[in-house]
A = this chain, B = another copy of it.
Amino acid sequence: MTAESAPPAPGTVRPGGRTARTRSAVRDAVLTGLGEHGYPGLTVEYVAEHSGVHKTTLYRRWGGVEGLVADALDLAGEDSWAPPDTGSLAGDLRALAHEVVETFGAPARAAAPTAFVAAAFQSERAAGALRAFYAERFARCAPILRRAVERGELPPGSDAGAVARAVSAPLFFRALVTREPLEAAHADQAAAAALAALRAGVYRSADEPE
């Protein structure tokens, strides 16, 4: 039995700890590589060198670059992010919008989401992982509308995911599509627009009870 396959001493590594640490080191190397070289320049060799995990292990467990990028996205989706809770519907939507502007306004924070979106243009697997990531992320925004209904700010029956997408879309559009400057005023405008449309009944859901 080699040291690597030996079970950890009780109490020193939590169950899955070694695997989780490897996965996290690999994810970090993928993010660094995407930031430095973009998806077209990312190689399994680069990830091996920067994670300290052997190339053959990377190929065996992740298959290659596409699998590495998709898994890094899956792992990004396992964070503890929760939507803002400011005490009002307008405040929550505004805070959500400002989070997007702050992300794309700071190069270090913008690198990973930008690289993932870029990778999806070239990898179907990355595109699928991105779709799953955002679907789950927007589903986490449900408490924003639930709390607004509880506070009597909004009638029940609107689609929280549609509202969160509406707040985010104009900001991602400027940052990643039209390549226009993105300022705090755009966050305020995106939040105000989503709120006006929400109040006008644009995001009423056929699925939810009235």
Cβ of A127: which chain B residues have Cβ within 8 Å of it? 179
CB of A180 within 8 Å of the partner chain: yes
**A172 touching B166 by the CB < 8 A rule?**
no
**B118 touching A121 by the CB < 8 A rule?**
yes
CA distance A152 to B102 in the complex (A): 39
CB < 8 Å: which of B114, B118, B130, B173 contacts A168? B173
**A179 touching B131 by the CB < 8 A rule?**
yes
- Stretch in contact with the other chain, from A58-66, A78-86, A191-199: A191-199
CB < 8 Å: which of B117, B166, B178 contacts A165? B178
CB < 8 Å: which of B166, B173, B176 contacts A193? B166
CA distance A133 to B146 in the complex (A): 41
Cβ of A162: which chain B residues have Cβ within 8 Å of it? 189
The DSSP consensus for interface residues of chain A is helix
In the complex, how many angstroms separate the beta carbon of A182 from the nearest chain B beta carbon?
12
Cβ of A17: which chain B residues have Cβ within 8 Å of it? none
Cβ of A122: which chain B residues have Cβ within 8 Å of it? 38, 40, 118
**A179 touching B38 by the CB < 8 A rule?**
no
Q: Which of A92-150 contact B (CB under 8 A)?
A: 114, 117-118, 120-122, 127-128, 130-131, 134-135
Other 12 A-B pairs with CB < 8 A, given A40-B40, A118-B121 = A117-B176, A130-B177, A131-B178, A131-B180, A134-B180, A165-B170, A169-B169, A169-B170, A192-B197, A193-B194, A193-B203, A199-B200
25 contacts between A and B (CB under 8 A): A40-B40, A40-B122, A117-B177, A118-B121, A118-B122, A120-B179, A127-B179, A128-B179, A130-B177, A131-B178, A131-B179, A134-B178, A134-B180, A165-B173, A166-B193, A169-B169, A169-B173, A172-B173, A189-B202, A189-B203, A193-B193, A193-B202, A193-B203, A196-B199, A196-B200
